[in-house]
Copies of this chain bind each other. A is one copy, B any other.
Amino acid sequence: MTVTARVPLADLAALLADGTRARFCLALLDGRAWTAGELARHAGVAASTASEHLSLLVRGGILAEERQGRHRYVRLAGPRVAQLIEDLAAHADLAAPAPPPPTLRAASSARAMAAARTCYDHLAGRLGVAVTDALTARGLLRQDTGFALSDDGLAWFAADLGVRLAPRGRRPMAKACLDWTERRHHLAGVAGAVLCATLLERGWVTRIGTGRALRVTAPGARALEDLLGLKSVESAGSEAAAGSRP
């Protein structure tokens, strides 16, 4: 006997403690839905293996699934789990510094990711940190006593950017997210998501290939300079490879 009562924390951690499942979650941090087969190939395991892993992750509340015909699409269950996995991954990467990129394609892709990428549903990389710094320097975002938009910040979203910033459920309006390439905070939360979505909608940034990496367009560079005084937002160029999506 002695069934050693379950520990919820351990059960949750066990879901992420397998290399294959962890790879799935990291891939899904791009915020989009992948099919079971894509994830299987991405992680290098048989389809049957991937299927079992996905069932576990869905059952554990980490992933949400959506079936369409013969496809099974999965995505992260929500911003909360995305944040949790980001935090965990950031902490893990601090302890174990990233190994040198094995291939040239990977190195080029890594450069593009470091320049600008999405982090679930907001901006990250040098671009994400630069935008966050600019907001802070202009008094729109307060970082010295915590992490929150100022009244000027609210006004900036409404007037300058021209978008409504409405509360969405229990999700905080602004939240600090640790950037694992810059090792600094960038803007997450509702404001971060709205900002990222707006830039994508207006064509100010576009996705490179099918991955998480982003490129700032020429109109985007002008807009960012007008709105935030951001100079020389380096465009990652079109050199970068597509990304890890098969």
Segment from A9-17, A113-121, A234-242 that makes contact with B: A9-17
A26 touches B9 (CB 8 A): yes
Pick the residue among B87, B96, B144 that contacts A173 (CB under 8 A).
B144
B149 touches A89 (CB 8 A): no
- Min CB gap A8→B, angstroms: 4
A22 touches B4 (CB 8 A): no
Residue A23 at the B interface, CB < 8 A? yes
A84 touches B91 (CB 8 A): yes
Known: A9-B26, A13-B13. A153 touches B145 (CB 8 A): yes
Residue A200 at the B interface, CB < 8 A? no
B84 touches A12 (CB 8 A): no
Pick the residue among B6, B92, B175 that contacts A8 (CB under 8 A).
B92
Sample 11 A-B pairs with CB under 8 A, ordered by A number.
Answer: A4-B44, A8-B92, A9-B22, A10-B16, A10-B17, A13-B14, A142-B146, A146-B175, A147-B148, A147-B175, A148-B148
